[in-house]
Amino acid sequence: MRRKYTLVLFLITLLFTGWKIIEGNWIKEKHKGYNLLYTSVDKSNNKAYKQLVDNGIASVKKFFHSSYKKSFDIFIHPSRNSLDSTWKKDWNMPGFNSECWMVASGVAGRLDMISPKLWDKEACEHIYAETLHTQQLITHELVHVYHGQWNVSPDFSNAEGIDWFVEGLATYTSGQCGSSRIKEIKKAIAENKNPGNLR
Residue 107 forms part of a structural domain: yes
Residue 197 forms part of a structural domain: no
Residue 10 forms part of a structural domain: no
Cα 89 from Cα 86, distance rounded (Å): 5
Cα 115 from Cα 174, distance rounded (Å): 19
Residue 9 forms part of a structural domain: no
DSSP state of 160: T
**Mean pLDDT over each residue of the chain, to the nearest integer:** 89
What CATH number has the domain bearing residue 146? Answer: 3.40.30
pLDDT surpasses 80 at 195? no
Smallest CA-to-CA distance from 113 within 90, 79, 162 is with: 79
Burial of residue 184 (CB within 10 Å: 0-12, 13-18, 19+) is: exposed
Task: Count structural domains, the chain.
Answer: 1
Residue 116 forms part of a structural domain: yes
Range of the domain at 182: 22-190
Q: What is the pLDDT of residues 48-107, one digit of tens each?
A: 999 999 999 999 999 999 999 999 999 999 999 999 999 999 999 999 999 999 999 999
Residue 60 forms part of a structural domain: yes
